[in-house]
Structure 1
């Protein structure tokens, strides 16, 4: 079918190109665990990849500049007692990464700017709250030190990693395994997909499902969902006939999709990577050898196919660089880190321009490394959009910033009242009467201990006399 009018878009010509051989990371034993996560996380400083490791789970962290062959004795991040299933860099501190594992724990790590001499084995924090494997991690986009984890126990926990506390527990919303979780741009809502085939929009602080759609994709295979810049939900899934499918949904009207397109019959789960600055979504299928990308607009058909980057080797996983880590002088609008069986290969997406000047239209101000809120401000109900920075002069990552964990005295921690911590009578100072009662109880216990000690002494003396008598 011929088109009469060519759609105007500055992203109609986006070209993907694999980096040169010497820019790849060679000889990395990528994890063989069959889990539908990306196995790779990247930021402007580091590349992290989940790897094969004996006796537990591990991942490797490489400075971006350390390309070429990786020494087989290069230090790993090891601490989990079972395979690592997901990793995610903190958006507000390029030296902090979280890992989730089959051993039911989440660990938060501080990565030094220098190359360590031996394995990093001590996390700065171990978060224990799930009863089964933890397979999903997602940092809050605007609040400092807020981390979401989701596990095989069908529970979503939201943590304050600055104190090691659970802020919120969403434990009765998903009757089956959670496949994906995504924050919206200001972190006020979550979009989740589940094995029960439901797509849910959740307000985590109210502990409520605010919108729900059953069988956004009718197939039984896992579904993925991400928020778009306009507040819509972009999904990938499967039809009843096991064809891969993508969809666009308006949470205010979940009855009919804004767009629904069938793709192909491959069985690999499509991982969507969305760039809100350009409103382009990149689809990377596990086991595929291609990256397809689409522009989401307000004009029908709303999801516009742009192009496909193809290579010979299938991908085991994929890392997606935040916008501030790109080379603006080369008109680079996205960069992927494609995992092969034994290496990681950067793939660069560019929009060719003749001018060497900074391209304002390609690079609107983008989220920077500063949080907009503190954890307790977000928990109290405040929302804030990300703090934006300009990429006009390029981005230089800040020096090593240490994450300080202030664990509260366990005696000061009282159980939260309902889904949110609230000021209640139990938080008030102890009354004089309560203090007197406690002192009386302590005095009685002390007297009881003394009486028992005297009885033990008497029994020991009797035993000695008996032993002496038999001699």
Structure 2
């Protein structure tokens, strides 16, 4: 009798393919800052890329559908006074993005659906609380307006973006540089790695370490750790011999890894990207020219190598599209945005299927843009899983929704100086962001009118010369 040795999995033949040149984003000056973040963030509407810029830090925002050459004068998002180190789109509003910078600040931006003709320089809110550069930005997966930032001051701050106030400051849990921070599936815990070679699982609301693992990887190079959907922790790091490793851990038994694999001797930090709907982890090393992917299963050996997508040029960074932005008609289960020195190249991962029908097993209901909690509910101790949406028929992103920011009045806490006439606040239907968009449109129309007036004047001069010449 023959024994079956081939593992049964619908993802055994995941196929990676780079998009053609006309579907790439060309002429982009990708940032050269030596920081181990992905430098790229994507959602169903936009691609954001940290770029080189003079006089401070900036990033570029492009509409996903508008590929091709990017004009050298394309407007930027620029308000930081030093290089931008990390960016992250809000999972509950596709028009809101946060950025962290070497200038020690976090800024939150509203991006209009129709990008303006001038650079965006005014953030919705500036979050100030770190004393050193801010290199990690991460939104809460289920609670509205909750944003986490981590800096080189070894401090993690969790903000309420709706008010601009810090909700939680974790300033005594890390004694060394924090390499990365990841929320679990419902945002009740965070997992961190740091330069002291420890992986910590932290309850942010209790401000305590639940459990930690010393020397999860014994090498001196940076580690990464992410939560999986079932609460297990997946890490990448280096051995004593500088070999790259991956490991899977059960936090209930943190002494030994459930699985440990050595990869190669490259020195690029492996950035893990996790798709909870397919239980696939993709590993992209900075400076590598490949993407390795593994399926995580409940049975031994738990981490199963699937395949490697290879290309010729090394990657400077990588963006990972959420499930909502995938093409379900092509059985696409993942899409990456690979940064080269001067361009961004989409790479699509598909599962070959003969049928044109919607594949229910590939596309279970996935987290949608509606938050499950408010910031106050989360701070009160409530937890909730993400609100799911169906991808049957494809996902259509909602129109621009503004982020409501309750601006604090500094005069509220001061005693009145004397009798004062009370002025009612503006009760128009226009928010500050909407007014800014209208002003932007007015300015852009003025520029168009001025250029047309110059053109009319030039044509009139030519006409007069022609008339005089034939007279």
Confirm whether residue 101 of structure 1 aligns to residue 105 of structure 2. Answer: no
Q: Which residue of 2 aligns with 1:208?
A: 208
1:256-300 residue CA offsets vs partner (Å, 9 max, x unmatched): 101000000000000000000000000000000000000000111
| Corresponding residue number in structure 1 for 2:283 | 283
State how far apart, in whole Å, the 1-side matches of 2:96 and 2:290 are: 31
* Match status 1:376 vs 2:376: yes
2: CA distance between counterparts of 1:134 and 1:65? 31
Output one character per residue of 1:196-242: Cα deviation in whole Å (capped at 9) or x when no partner: 10000000000010010001000010000000111100000000000
Query: Does the alignment pair 1:123 with 2:118?
Result: no
SS at match of 2:22: helix
> 1:412 deviation in Å?
6.6
If you compute each CA radius of gyration, which structure gives the higher value, 1 or 2?
Answer: 1
In the TM superposition, what is the alpha-carbon distance from 1:411 to its structure 2 partner? 6.8
The answer on 1:187 being equivalent to 2:187 is: yes
- In 2: Cα distance, 1:387 partner to 1:394 partner: 17
Equivalent in the alignment of 2:404: 404
CA distance in 1: counterparts of 2:404 and 2:362, whole angstroms? 37
| Corresponding residue for residue 322 of structure 2 | 322
| Cα shift at 1:366 | 0.2
Q: Does 1:197 align with 2:197?
A: yes
2:263 aligned partner: 263
In structure 2, distance between residues paired with 1:379 and 1:409: 23
Deviations 1:309-335 (A, max 9, x none): 000000000000000100000000000
1:460 corresponds in structure 2 to none
TM-score using structure 2 length: 0.87
**Partner-residue secondary structure (3-state), 2:113:** coil
> Pairwise CA RMSD of aligned residues?
1.7
Q: Tell me, in whole angstroms, the C-alpha distance in 2 between the residues paired with 1:255 and 1:354.
A: 45
Distance in 2, Cα, partners of 1:353 & 1:250 = 34
Partner Cα separation in structure 2 for residue 205 and residue 409 of structure 1? 27
User: 5+ residue gaps in structure 2?
Assistant: 419-471
Partners of 2:85 and 2:44 lie apart in 1 by 22
- Classify the secondary structure of the residue corresponding to 1:48: strand
Query: For 2:384 and 2:196, how far apart are their aligned partners in 1?
Result: 32
Q: Secondary structure at the match of 1:172?
A: coil
Runs of 4+ residues deviating >2 angstroms: 407-413
How much does 1:407 deviate? 2.6
> 1 CA distance for matches of 2:78 and 2:248?
39
| Superposition TM-score, scaled by structure 1 size | 0.87
Cα distance in 2, alignment partners of residues 187 and 408 from structure 1? 27
Matches within 5 A, 1:195-274: 195-274=195-274
SS at match of 2:377: helix
Shift of 1:38: 0.1
CA distance in 1 between counterparts of 2:220 and 2:409 reads 46
Other structure's SS at 1:376 match? helix
Alpha-carbon distance between aligned partners in 1 of 2:397 and 2:388, rounded to the nearest angstrom: 15
Q: Secondary structure at the match of 2:329?
A: helix
1:427-457, CA deviations, whole angstroms, 9 ceiling, x for partnerless residues? xxxxxxxxxxx99xx99xxxxxxxxxxxxxx
Cα distance, 1:409 vs. partner?
3.9
Q: Identify the residue that residue 111 of structure 1 maps to in structure 2.
A: 111
Question: What is the CA distance between 1:65 and its match in structure 2?
Answer: 1.2
**1:59 paired residue number:** 59
Superposed CA offset, 1:10-49 (max 9, x none): 1111000001110000000000000000000000000000
SS across alignment from 1:200: strand
Q: Which residue of 1 aligns with 2:350?
A: 350
> How many residue pairs get matched?
417
The change in CA–CA distance for 1:308 and 1:375 in structure 2 (over 3 A counts) is same
Residue 41 of structure 2 is matched in structure 1 by 41
Mapping of residues 64-103 of structure 1, within 5 Å: 64-103=64-103
**Structure 1 unaligned spans of 5+:** 414-437, 444-471
**Aligned mates of 1:117, 1:407 — CA distance in 2:** 27
For residues 115-152 of structure 1, the C-alpha deviation after alignment (integer angstroms, 9 at most, x for no partner) is 21111100011000000000000000000000000000
CA distance in 1 between partners of 2:354 and 2:256 (Å): 43
* Alpha-carbon offset, residue 394 of structure 1: 0.7
* Alpha-carbon distance in 1 for matches of 2:276, 2:407: 36
Q: How does 1:305-320 map to 2 (within 5 A)?
A: 305-320=305-320
- Please give the secondary structure, in 2, of the residue aligned with 1:202: strand
